[in-house]
């Protein structure tokens, strides 16, 4: 069994891995809530910011694709399947205590914590 690394304390009063995972639960909404509430823990702040950026980008991409008739709608379906899988991966990685970075978005999140 893998050893759980020490993620420090969270100013939310929750275990940092739980707070980080919950920041993905409702996308931008919970991302903002945990980003604002968490004052100290960089692990939680990173995942909260990554949630904001990832879910925000996902929404923008969907809006753009839905404007494009037929082909855009089909591509949106594929984008949503990929988005749901990626959302589950980052949520589970955060809960397991890993700082998993989504390409490009993870780097932006890291700069803004």
Model pLDDT, residue 6 = 79
Residue 1 lies in a domain: no
Residue 47 lies in a domain: yes
Residue 32 lies in a domain: yes
Give the CA distances from residue 104 to residues 53, 70, 90, in Å, rounded to whole numbers and listed in that order: 10, 29, 14
Kindly report each contact of residues 104-110 with a partner whose C-beta sits within 8 Å and lies 24 or more positions away, as own/partner: 105/50, 105/53, 105/54, 105/57, 106/50, 108/49, 108/53, 109/46, 109/47, 109/49, 109/50, 109/52, 109/53, 110/46
Residue 77 lies in a domain: yes
Residue 101 lies in a domain: yes
Model pLDDT, residue 5 = 72
The residue range of the domain holding 34 is 16-106
pTM: 0.90
Number of structural domains found in the chain: 1
Length of the chain: 113
Residue 112 lies in a domain: no
Residue 9 lies in a domain: no
Question: Where does 68-96 have alpha helices with state H?
Answer: 71-95
Which whole number is the average pLDDT over 20-32? 97
Q: Is 8 helix (H, G, I), strand (E, B) or coil?
A: coil
Q: How confident is the model at residue 113 (pLDDT cuts 50, 70, 90)?
A: confident
95 pLDDT more than 70: yes
């Amino acid at each position: 069994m893998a050893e759980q690394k020490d993620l420090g304390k969270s100013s939310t009063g929750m275990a940092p891995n739980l707070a980080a995972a919950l920041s993905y639960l409702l996308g931008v909404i919970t991302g903002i809530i945990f980003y604002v509430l968490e004052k100290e823990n960089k692990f939680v702040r990173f995942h909260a910011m990554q949630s904001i950026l990832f879910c925000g980008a996902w929404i923008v991409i969907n809006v753009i694709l839905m404007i494009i008739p037929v082909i855009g709608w089909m591509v949106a379906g594929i984008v949503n399947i990929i988005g749901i899988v990626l959302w589950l991966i980052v949520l589970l990685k955060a809960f397991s205590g890993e700082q998993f970075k989504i390409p490009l978005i993870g780097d932006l999140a890291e700069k803004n914590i």
